[in-house]
Amino acid sequence: MDTRTLAPTVDKERLSAIAQTILREPTAPFHETLVRQAVAGLLQACPRVTLREDDFGNLIAHYRGSAPAAGARYAFCAHMDHPGWVRPEPAEDAPWKFLGGVPADYLEANRERVREFDDFAMWNLPDCEWRDGRIYSRACDDLIGCAVIVAVLETLSHADVPGECYGLFTRAEEVGFAGAVEMARDGWLREAGVTVISLETSSERPPAKMGDGPIVRVGDKTSVFDATVTAELTATATAAGIPFQRCLMSGGTCEATAFRLYGVRCGALCVALGNYHNCGPDRRIEAEYVSQSDYAGLVELCVQIARRGATGVPDPDAELRRAVENRLQPYQPYHRRDRRLAS
């Protein structure tokens, strides 16, 4: 038996090490160098993953298994930045400017809780703590998404899963998807027919519930994503027996919307996030947090998506179409009846 045809096993202990390696690096819009270096360092140990940077500084990882493939079907995307303080000019006395969506009253009430990293700064919060089944960090958004992609590519590489896929690590999402827009405008994703799957941590809002599994994100605050892609993701989770949720996560706008605007086919997955953008109760800046089991579940789901893409994705609507047609079958005798009164 060719072991590459079997579902690869995700190393749960390895997930912790990957997340800690990435989460401990500070980041802010346009200041993603340390996160990019951490991601590259982890992926350079994967024998079937190649890396390149585009002209904007986005990091593009490409997994190719040893078995032939017609081309990558999916690209998993996450951004490397998080809201933070930056200096528009390199001078040490240059004024700080906050980039990212945090209300002004939070900024004013927490000005003393800032930690500087040369020419940018973050909130002075723990970089990574694991407790009570949750991961706490100053920047779960979206470094958890980056950790998921690294774990997926590492799992595929070590198991030599047939086929190929991409991992996209973008810059400056928090100021309006700068990295994603630059990549989308370049056109190579659209020309190659690659489907982008945005991976995010999204503010926990009903009906989404932290701990109930990864979320197939139907849409965000701004737009609704490709219905066929959403059906593919749902069908993959169901077939693999991975607990999941299906929700419209309207707490913010994600990179799937940016890619969609430039003609790239896209869908989205996420995990529920607490203290979105570090905004806790009573105007307090707090660590963001996600469920450890949701993080692991999202890795498992993405591995199955990549594996399913390599073997060809069946029509996700076929089963529903058959169910609808079967339900209508008993009414066939009525189809030729015209109950309108003769005029």
| 304 phi, psi to nearest 5 deg | -70, -35
Distance CA 296, CA 135 (A): 11
- Examine residue 181 and state whether it is found in any structural domain, yes or no: yes
- Examine residue 72 and state whether it is found in any structural domain, yes or no: yes
- Examine residue 112 and state whether it is found in any structural domain, yes or no: no
CA angle 145, 146, 150 (to 5 degrees): 120
Instruction: Say if residue 318 is exposed, middle or buried (CB neighbours under 10 Å; 0-12, 13-18, 19+).
Output: exposed
Q: In a structure prediction context, what are the per-residue pLDDT tens digits for the chain, which is 343 residues long?
A: 344 445 677 878 899 999 999 999 999 999 999 999 999 999 999 989 999 999 999 999 999 998 867 778 999 999 999 999 998 776 677 788 999 999 999 999 998 899 999 889 999 999 999 999 999 999 999 999 999 999 999 999 999 999 999 999 999 999 999 999 999 999 999 999 999 999 999 999 999 999 999 999 999 999 999 999 999 999 999 999 999 999 999 888 999 999 999 999 999 999 999 999 999 999 999 999 999 999 999 999 999 999 987 666 667 677 778 888 888 888 888 777 666 654 4
- Examine residue 341 and state whether it is found in any structural domain, yes or no: no
What angle do the packed helices 140-159 and 12-23 form, to 10 degrees?
A: 140
In this structure, how many other beta carbons lie within 10 angstroms of the beta carbon of residue 192?
A: 13
Quote the number of domains for the chain: 1
- Examine residue 38 and state whether it is found in any structural domain, yes or no: yes
3-6 long-range CB contacts below 8 Å, 24 or more apart? 3/159, 4/65, 4/66, 4/67, 4/159, 4/160, 4/161, 4/162, 5/162
CA angle 195, 176, 270 (to 5 degrees): 50
- Examine residue 94 and state whether it is found in any structural domain, yes or no: no
- Examine residue 146 and state whether it is found in any structural domain, yes or no: yes
Q: Which domain holds residue 302?
A: 3-83+128-326
CATH number of the domain bearing residue 189:
3.40.630.10
Q: Which residue has the tokens 């470094």?
A: 143
Are 286 and 280 in contact by the 8 Å Cβ rule? The answer is yes
Predicted structure pTM score: 0.91
- Examine residue 121 and state whether it is found in any structural domain, yes or no: no
CA angle 151, 174, 89 (to 5 degrees): 115
